Chain A
């Protein structure tokens, strides 16, 4: 018994009537994967309904599906090649049943996207392509079906290939192959078609054997979301499935977000033969730990040196399947791994028309079948990873009422939208305007300030020491006249932030936070400036101008350039 055989789940997607069920039916028929009588049964049904024989009837098992000739819900069927076993998932092509398409596609590792050669690329061809990219399914072939209807024309095939490729490439889905087929006539399904000698690639059946399975989840950082804690007997067993990584008896582990550290005491089992001292990704396991803290479902076990992200605000891409729109200021439930938490939509950053990839401007809600980029705020902190780092712990669903209405992937942590640039060291920060640019705008007849893109510079960050209208040296200091906090820039990097009075003079020039040169040329000047600054901070603000005129030279590191108009001008840091 070859139980060690590999299994690959493939979803078949595409626009309605482009022939998804027919492709699968044909594959099953040609690989003799159907039980005796299945074809006879389908023939009988076709006859009863007074319709011609359709391979699709093999999959469209519901009476409603066969009557109307559409797939309502996804079907999973198995077949095998010499290389491995396949679970092939037939997904509905109707927009109305998109949620069923997504349910089917979510469990697949690879995809076949079917396009009708005669009709070309249609709305759902694109939407399904988009959803594949959101689900992280990178392995895809495009099957251009019904080639018989376009007389097996290479030219038309190439035109479809080019158009679809342009669309998919913009989504970072790179189809590995384009295969021209006629599923109904069996051309290029199991054997190369003599009707299309110009096609040099493999037929579908050979091509799917070339999909490579994902590997290496065991080697990723450990992620073990707690599913439940059992106390059926004297053991207190923490149960769950390892989503990534490997865990051994004796390992030191971190439990997040409660931040507790302990060690694995034992790996539990029922049958003696299941006893192991190492467990890894994909396994449903149970462990006991040395320190019996209060643990609960939802917490993440990781190694201490590779913890997941813990946050209550994060950015996601999601698809919405709900009857009601996705809106702000409404309570939803978020389910991520074994965590469940109340959440709300903090911001809708973008709603995308999945078929044109156009952004719907200022959308305040996502409607059913929309794709959106939003910021989610959860009631308490949750553990996760970015989807690109770990698929299993980087995706989630949103429940509205009783139903799962959305699914999405975490794209990153949300940062507060800031309006100013700053230098930051823990609690100390200096708001800086020294990277703003000044122009004399000819059409407006005056000097205009153009602010740089707001950004926070942390210790060690490279700063933009040279702009279009300013040029600071590689080593200088930025003093905040109001607070006396001074940023030390060395080799164009922010090295430290300390109070001026704690600073030792080192000859490198000083500027204020606006970018004006501070007229310090010697240690004597430095001491005098420090004393004047102290006085200024204690005195009335009316003396500021006098202080500035005495100490500051605005133009030392700047020049004002001429500009025709401010429009279309965008300043970017040159780092």
Chain B
């Protein structure tokens, strides 16, 4: 087994644990590269089937290509898709002009919380990785959230030998992180090896491409001429810029992500 085989095997083990343990389980699909890799891993774990719904929390500020890709792939992969929007907040005029963190909290965190409450999810699969930012580097694979989706990060449960937290009071839910142990380079190498189709925003057009995908107003492009996965891998080998440098909400404050994530952000 090589490095990617080991990463894949561990992720599949985690996905299967989640499926076995949670009656109400859903996977968050942001249309980005990480959650698209997770979709692929789920197909592998369950031998071509996807035995739980995929959830897209749509802020309505997403880049239009993302929505087109989402709808096409959902059909091709034959998956059940739940699209949810925090319409109440939008009707009240919520947008990035109200402040980036406020907007993220309302349209993403609260939107997600609404889905969890509506469908009574016990388990929610998310594609976060430890190498993305500080508070994620301290995450557990099975991470408990209370009924308000809050994360008690100063008192996390012990997690050893792949014996994950599967006991919790009713009303709480578990965030399952199958690719927590992957890094950005692993994701790209795996996409290259498995030939996984991605939204083409990741590939350069007119000298620019997206390295990390989010909402249009808060996601910047980087200078790049990489038009293939192999070229992206080559480009990443030589960069010193952080992956999420183009994500405006991260830069709002020294502890922006920690604060967002404490309240239930992905």
Contact = CB atoms under 8 A, between A and B. Distances in A.
A37 B161 contact: no
A239 B160 contact: no
A397 B16 contact: no
B187 to A, nearest CB: 12
Interface in A173-219: none
Interface string B10-48: 101100110110000000000000000000000111111
Given A76-B137, A271-B194, A37 B245 contact: yes
B159 A283 contact: no
B163 A7 contact: no
B240 A35 contact: yes
Residue from the set A280, A297, A333, A404 with the largest chain B CB neighbour count within 10 Å = A404
27 contacts: A3-B4, A32-B240, A35-B242, A36-B240, A36-B242, A41-B254, A44-B254, A59-B137, A61-B138, A62-B255, A63-B254, A73-B153, A76-B130, A77-B130, A77-B131, A85-B3, A99-B157, A103-B140, A228-B19, A230-B49, A232-B48, A270-B48, A274-B44, A399-B167, A402-B169, A403-B167, A404-B160
Nearest to B14: A284
B97 interface: no
B16 A61 contact: no
Interface residues of A, number: 70
A232 B233 contact: no
A417 interface: no
Place the interface of chain B in its size category: 35 or more
A231 to B, nearest CB: 10
A283 B9 contact: yes
B258 A3 contact: no
A275 to B, nearest CB: 12
A260 B167 CA distance: 31
B63 to A, nearest CB: 24
A100 B51 contact: no
Given A271-B44, A282-B6, A403 B157 contact: yes
Nearest to B130: A76
Interface of A: 1, 3-7, 32, 35-38, 41, 44-45, 48, 59, 61-64, 72-78, 85, 87, 99-100, 102-103, 106-107, 227-228, 230, 232-233, 235, 237, 239-241, 268-271, 274, 280, 282-284, 286, 297, 321, 333, 335, 392, 395-397, 399, 401-405, 407
Given A61-B134, A62-B135, A228-B20, A106 B161 contact: yes
Contact of B161 (A63, A270, A395): A395
Given A62-B135, A63-B258, A401-B167, A239 B158 contact: no
B235 to A, nearest CB: 12
A73 B138 contact: yes
Contact of B158 (A59, A100, A241): A100
Nearest to B137: A75
B258 A62 contact: yes
A297 B230 CA distance: 41
B72 interface: no
